[in-house]
Structure 1
């Protein structure tokens, strides 16, 4: 059941579900505000569609797609399967266009996550500016776990945050998580460094 719940700034009638208390409109002037469109955005992201492709297919802005992605990501709360881990690998994930010197941080941010090779699970994840602050946030998310060793590359922020006596530095300690990064890039178009995908030929676009 639903009931009327005031008027929006655009003069449209607003409604509220009496059961779940969510607000909605019967018709949206902008499709990006429709909850069904937001759900479709998430489905397409999960199945590997890129931000630009989703915006074009659903007739919404790229900003709408990115905002939906970030909002959904911040609501993710991972629960580890164990309380004790011997070695945890930590790495940051980003993309770049053309050359590494021209890096483009994913959604203007970096994804930093902790991974356990024995259980093949991502234990904790954070997203934000590629900074010491984000490493601290990730470390905080691991506080409830007992971890013998943290394995990372030579990034300065890892050295400053992770405990020195339990910190292993070097590519030889992060081989597995580097492989996971490759898998994530293959399954998520937003993370692709390069792609062999090409736009549809002009004659095909005109016929669609």
Structure 2
């Protein structure tokens, strides 16, 4: 999920993986749109033993995921798009430039991370 801090050329990406069966978030990373961010997420997903990945057509997936474990398309992305809608609805700084607009990457990541930890994992704030 794409967002920005200050201006649109200062992009931040929410990388997250969900369990297709339950819809639960397994892990997430807030970072740039780079191969390093995908590697960080893959490292967090290692204990889960994931066998299949459903993604969009970004080139980093083809470079870092096994071809037989990777499927490109929108067929299995409904649950993750629903999570994106929830985030945009509840965290206004993801929807448009408002009074609660992020001016620093640190604050942007903290607010999104706190919401995900509370909403998805039930962790206290």
Tell me if TM exceeds 0.5: yes
Q: SS in structure 1 opposite 2:25?
A: strand
TM-score, with normalisation over the residues of structure 1?
0.42
Tell me the distance in 2 between the aligned counterparts of 1:148 and 1:174.
16
The structure having more radius of gyration, on CA atoms, is: 1
Q: 1:162 to 1:103 in 2, by over 3 A?
A: farther
Q: 1:193 to 1:175 in 2, by over 3 A?
A: farther
Tell me the distance in 2 between the aligned counterparts of 1:137 and 1:189.
26
Tell me the distance in 2 between the aligned counterparts of 1:151 and 1:172.
8
1:191 aligns with 2:94: yes
C-alpha deviation, 1:118, in angstroms:
2.1
Picking from 138, 145, 149, the partner of 2:48 is: 145
1:166 aligns with 2:74: no
What's 1:119 paired with?
Answer: 22
What's 1:94 paired with?
Answer: 2
Unmatched segments (≥5 aa) in structure 1:
1-92, 97-101, 198-208
- Larger relative contact order (Cα-Cα within 8 Å, sequence gap ≥ 6): 2
C-alpha deviation, 1:104, in angstroms:
5.2
The total of aligned residue pairs comes to 98
For 1:23-76, what per-residue CA distance to the aligned partner results, in whole angstroms no more than 9, with x for missing partners? xxxxxxxxxxxxxxxxxxxxxxxxxxxxxxxxxxxxxxxxxxxxxxxxxxxxxx
